[in-house]
């Protein structure tokens, strides 16, 4: 059996119905995990679950708002046992401090910070009861370096990074590992939509410009983020906890 096998493991992936979450869900399903996709959109999540089952895997869908703790506790109670939690659900906001309203800040906080907290709050007691587990949080390079016009988003991902360290420290004796991933730009439908909305008629030009901000010369593929997630959630990384992994095409170290 491969060290990357997730056979017999129950994996919960928030925001698993699109983008990076979709890629993680599909890869984990292909590696034998029983994948539970938590997403605000049941339709998108069901499409991913169907792909997993059609390929011979096992998947379930839970339509839930990660910002609602009561809903999240109920979903995790139904799932019952959790070996792997991937805190992937998140939303973005473009704007510096002066262009970030209180409503903008609350919206980002509720999903990116409170949503991650709610997942952790629901999953950790289950992991403790069964003798351990693995948690992977989706942070961002915005938590590590200054990104123009990303005030609220950067704040939220900085909090995710800090939660990762705190959980890793507090629950290491419960055999719970907790790490995070900090991607740079990833080519997802969100990116295509953002460019189309803000730069109509200049889509190709802006895509090339945004891609070039990574020293490697392109955006990451969702599947590349998923491959790192698989490593960090598998037994191959059994000695790793409390670590953030930039996956950024050289952005944080070579953009000087």
Q: Which residues are catalytically annotated?
A: 153
- Cα 163 off chain centre by: 14
Task: Write down the residue that tokens 């990076």 correspond to.
Answer: 20
- Name the β-bridge partners of 253: none
Among 232, 193, 163, 214, smallest CA distance to 24 is for 232
Q: How far is CA 50 from CA 38, 45, 225, in A?
A: 14, 9, 21
Helix, strand, coil percentages in the chain from 3-state DSSP, rounded to 5: 50, 15, 30
Task: Write down the residue that tokens 């953009």 correspond to.
Answer: 255
C-alpha 74/C-alpha 170 separation (Å) is 24
Rama region for 237: left / alpha / beta (φ>0; ψ in -120 to 50; rest):
alpha
Among 2, 80, 68, smallest CA distance to 36 is for 80
Q: How far is CA 211 from CA 22, 79, 190, 252, in A?
A: 21, 39, 14, 15
């Amino acid at each position: 059996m491969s060290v990357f096998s997730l056979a017999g493991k129950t994996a919960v992936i928030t925001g698993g119905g699109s983008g990076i979450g979709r890629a993680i869900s599909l890869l984990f399903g292909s590696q034998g995990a029983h994948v539970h996709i938590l997403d605000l959109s049941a339709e998108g999540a069901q499409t991913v679950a169907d792909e997993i089952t059609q390929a011979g895997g096992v998947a379930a869908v839970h339509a839930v708002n990660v910002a609602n703790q009561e809903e999240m506790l109920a979903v995790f109670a139904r799932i019952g046992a959790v070996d792997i939690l991937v805190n992937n659900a998140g939303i973005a906001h473009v704007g510096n401090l002066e262009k970030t309203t209180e409503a903008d800040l609350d919206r980002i906080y509720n999903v990116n910070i409170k949503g991650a907290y709610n997942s952790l709050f629901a999953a950790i007691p289950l992991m403790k009861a069964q003798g351990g587990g693995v948690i992977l949080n989706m942070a961002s390079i915005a938590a590590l370096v200054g990104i123009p016009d990303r005030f609220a988003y950067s704040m939220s991902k900085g909090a995710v990074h800090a939660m990762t360290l705190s959980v890793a420290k507090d629950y290491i004796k419960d055999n719970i590992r907790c790490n995070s991933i900090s991607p740079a730009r990833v080519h997802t439908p969100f990116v295509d939509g953002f460019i189309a909305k803000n730069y109509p008629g200049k889509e190709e030009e802006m895509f090339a410009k945004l891609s070039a901000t990574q020293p490697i010369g392109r955006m990451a593929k969702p599947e590349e983020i998923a491959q790192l997630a698989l490593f960090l959630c598998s037994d191959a990384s059994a000695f790793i906890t409390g670590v953030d992994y930039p996956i950024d095409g050289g952005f944080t170290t070579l953009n000087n």
